[in-house]
Amino acid sequence: MELHLVINGRKDLAAQLYQQLREAIAAGRLSAGAQLPPSRLLAEQLGVSRKTVSDTYATLTYEGLLVGKIGRGTFVNAWAPPPERLQTAADLACAANLEKWAALPSPMHHPTPEKTLRYEFLGGATTRNQFPQDEWRRCTQDALRRVALNSGFYSQPEGLPALREAIAGHIAFSRGVKCHANDIVVTNGAQQALDLIARVVVEPGTLVAMEDPGYSPARQLFTAMGARIADVPVDAQGIQVDQIPDNTRLIYVTPSHQFPLGMPMSLARREALLARALALGAIIIEDDYDSDFRYEGRPANSLQSMDNRGLVAYVGTFSKSLLPQLRLGYAVLPPAIHGAVLKAKQLTDQHSSTLPQWALAKFISEGCLLKHIRRCHSVYAGRRERILQRLAGDLSPWFEAVPSVIGFHMAALCKAPLDIAKLIRLAREADVGLYPLDVFFHSAPVRQGLTLGFGAIELLDIDPALDRVRDILRQMG
């Protein structure tokens, strides 16, 4: 690999070479200890005389920037002067905007593999043991063949037709969603779907109504775009529709499995929400993030399936049913915003990667996804039942579970005042990952508790983990 230097014309060759090498060292592009090409080789690459290179090396060596080692070559001196001070955020004209972004919290930031604990109750995460490796490998091999046969052009922003057809069939079958393939845009996870919808609906000062407590990454996304957030309280039936303020342009809800508390939105509340959105001229985002897993009761209609006026943008993801690392999601869009979202998708990243799209299309169309969901359902149901038993048993003096029949996390509310931060810290020292509930409250009165995810913890690990939590609670009194 050649050292990147540019020599212009035939004048001041030594000065040009000297200046570029000195700047490369000062900027850190040539780091301390880096070896420079031999003078003969660099001279050939640049089309200059070897004497020009040798003299430049000698000057930089005299200045202490380079050091020659007999029999080995010329190196950047390890004791070279440090580069000039780089601009900090405070030095820039956009300092206020950078400070705003830096101030955004990350309450759902997943730990790195190195920092993952032995027992993890992290919500929204799955264990790789459940992932259908053999079926996915076969689908990926087929996808590789399809990509190899394809032209070198970009793909469609809305996603591959085969995948959109497969998604439309899957969500019609499993969730009763009314859509055609042309209504769907494939995204890089549900978070990008939220981003794209917000890009075309939200502008600085726009009023966005959200459940409180609610999904913090969506709140931070809307805030970063300049929206004003209207925190709307929830009760046992879901969002309190009568408290959605006038002038609201976007309403974000999680009706199937309210995040983070877990209760479903009642039918009457869903009907009231659709009527309120129609009166406001607002778009509703229905985030149906983990409704593939239902354990009790009859299924409820999706909000989108009840919508006859084109108000609901239905957002789904395969991060929960398959793996978060796949980063595949989708949005079923009402006609009014479909074209604008499609343009936003094209401007954002042109299109999502086609390799996993082809693989997922085959995976769904061959029935592998439904089989996988059925297998996972029994696994998650066992984990959920065991946690509920412990919460109703030896953990009952401290916690009570919020009734929840969908998904793979639940909320456990404190029965009495408890130092949750201390509990989480002591649990981490015992190799147990616990996560607080209070970070999802904003204007509503905070309710202390935990979010207990059971997608990433094996059934046989639940009792040892909760035994440690119980012992810590007893020590805390």
- C-alpha 110/C-alpha 189 separation (Å) is 15
Between the alpha carbon of residue 308 and those of residues 123, 242, 256, 275, 396, the distances in Å are 33, 21, 19, 11, 45
pLDDT digits (tens, 9 = 90+) for 52-101: 999 999 999 988 889 988 888 999 987 655 556 778 888 889 988 888 88
> Does residue 107 carry a pLDDT above 70?
no
In angstroms, the Cα distances linking 388 to 125, 384, 394, 413 are 19, 6, 11, 13
Predicted pLDDT at 81: 57
For 427-442, write each residue's pLDDT tens digit. 999 999 999 999 999 9
Predicted local distance difference test score (pLDDT) of residue 114: 66
Mean pLDDT of 281-286: 97
| Whole-number Å distance between alpha carbons of 264 and 241 | 14
Tens digit of each residue's pLDDT (9 = 90 or more) over 359-371: 999 999 999 999 9
Name residue 382's amino acid. G
**Nearest residue to 210 via CA among 238, 177, 191:** 238
Strand ranges across the sheet with 184-187:
184-187, 329-332, 312-317, 283-287, 248-253, 207-212, 228-235, 238-239
What is the rounded average pLDDT for all residues in the chain?
Answer: 90
Q: Which of 292-306, 340-354, 434-448 has the lowest mean pLDDT?
A: 292-306
Residue 165 CA, chain-centre distance (Å), reads: 25
Q: What digits encode the pLDDT tens for the residues 111-134?
A: 776 678 889 998 877 777 888 889
State the CATH class of domain 131-366: alpha beta
**Per residue in 5-44, pLDDT tens?**
888 877 888 898 999 898 888 888 888 888 999 989 988 8
- Specify the pLDDT at position 80: 53
Phi and psi at residue 303, in whole multiples of 5°? Answer: -60, -35
Residue range 180-198: mean pLDDT, rounded: 95
Given a cut of 90, is residue 346 above it in pLDDT? yes
Which residue has better confidence, 284 or 13? 284
Q: What pLDDT digit, counting tens, does each position of 211-254 carry?
A: 999 999 999 999 999 999 999 999 999 999 999 999 999 999 99
Strand intervals (E) in 77-175: 119-120
Average of pLDDT values for 406-418?
92
Return d(Cα 311, Cα 358) in angstroms, integer.
30
pLDDT band of residue 195 (cuts 50, 70, 90) is very high
At 159, which amino acid appears?
A: G
Residue 465 has pLDDT above 70, yes or no: yes
Per the CB < 8 A criterion, the answer to whether 214 and 237 are in contact is no
Q: Say what the pLDDT of residue 170 is.
A: 93
Question: So what's the pLDDT on residue 64?
Answer: 87
Which among 13, 102, 2 has a CA at the least distance from the CA of 54? Answer: 13
Considering only CA atoms, which of 430, 82, 455 is closest in space to residue 292?
455
Q: CATH 1.10.10.10 occupies which residues in the chain?
A: 13-76
- The CATH architecture to which 13-76 belongs is Orthogonal Bundle (1.10)
To the nearest 10 degrees (0 to 180), the angle between helices 368-392 and 133-149 is 140
How many C-alpha atoms does 464 have within 13 Å on its Cβ side? Answer: 11
User: What pLDDT does residue 273 have?
Assistant: 98
**Can you say how many angstroms the Cα of residue 287 is from the centroid of all Cα atoms in its chain?**
14
pLDDT score at 1: 59
Please give the residue that has the higher pLDDT: either 29 or 306: 306
pTM of structure: 0.81
| Domain boundaries for CATH 3.40.640.10 within the chain | 131-366
Q: What is the pLDDT of residue 451?
A: 94
Whether 335 shows a pLDDT value over 60: the answer reads: yes
Question: Alpha-carbon distance 477 to 475, whole Å?
Answer: 5
Architecture of the structural domain at 119-126+371-476: Alpha-Beta Complex (3.90)
Q: To which residue do tokens 């009706």 refer?
A: 255
Q: What would the mean pLDDT of 175-188 be, rounded to a whole number?
A: 94
Helix, strand, coil in percent for the chain, rounding step 5? 45, 15, 40
Residue for token pair 């809800």: 253
Structure confidence at residue 29 (pLDDT) = 84
Query: What phi, psi does 134 have (nearest 5°)?
Result: -65, -45
Whole-number pLDDT of residue 313? 97
The boundaries of every CATH 3.90.1150.10 domain in the chain are 119-126+371-476
